[in-house]
Amino acid sequence: MATAPVFPSLGDALNALAPGASLEARRPVGGGDINRAYRLTLSDETELFAKANASSLLPMFEAEAEGLAALRATGTIGITEALGTGLEPEAFGQDASFLLLAWLEPGAKRADFWETFAEELAAMHAADTAFLFPERGGQTTYGFPLDNYIGSTPQINTPKDSWVDFFRECRLHPQVRMAYDGGYLERSAMRQADAVMERLESLLPEPDHPSLLHGDLWGGNYMTGPDGKAWLIDPATYLGHREADLAMTELFGGFSPAFYSAYRSIAHVDAGYDERRDLYNLYHLLNHVNLFGYSYVGSVLHILNRFGG
Tens-digit pLDDT profile for residues 269-299? 999 999 999 999 999 999 999 999 999 999 9
Looking at the predicted structure, is the pLDDT value of residue 92 above 90? no
Residue 215: which residues within 8 A CB-CB, separation 6 or more? Answer: 67, 150, 155, 235, 236, 237, 238, 240, 244, 245
Mean pLDDT of 36-58: 95
Say whether domain 6-102 belongs to CATH 1.10.3470.10: no
Looking at the predicted structure, is the pLDDT value of residue 268 above 70? yes
Name the DSSP letter for residue 100: E
What is the predicted pLDDT for the residue at 292? Answer: 94
Looking at the predicted structure, is the pLDDT value of residue 1 above 70? no
What residues does each domain of the chain span?
Answer: 6-102, 113-308
- At 241, the pLDDT band (50, 70, 90 cuts) reads very high
The pTM of this model reads: 0.95
What is the predicted pLDDT for the residue at 308? Answer: 86
Looking at the predicted structure, is the pLDDT value of residue 2 above 70? no
Looking at the predicted structure, is the pLDDT value of residue 47 above 90? yes
CB distance 303 to 167 below 8 Å: no
In whole angstroms, give the CA distance from residue 233 to residue 79: 7
What is the predicted pLDDT for the residue at 135? Answer: 85
Written as one letter, the residue type at 94 is Q
Q: Which residues are catalytic?
A: 216
Looking at the predicted structure, is the pLDDT value of residue 32 above 80? no
Looking at the predicted structure, is the pLDDT value of residue 3 above 80? no
- Choose the CATH number for 113-308 among 1.25.40.10, 2.40.30.10, 3.90.1200.10, 3.90.1150.10: 3.90.1200.10
Tens-digit pLDDT profile for residues 133-154? 988 877 889 999 999 999 999 9
Q: Across all residues in the chain, what is the average pLDDT? A: 95
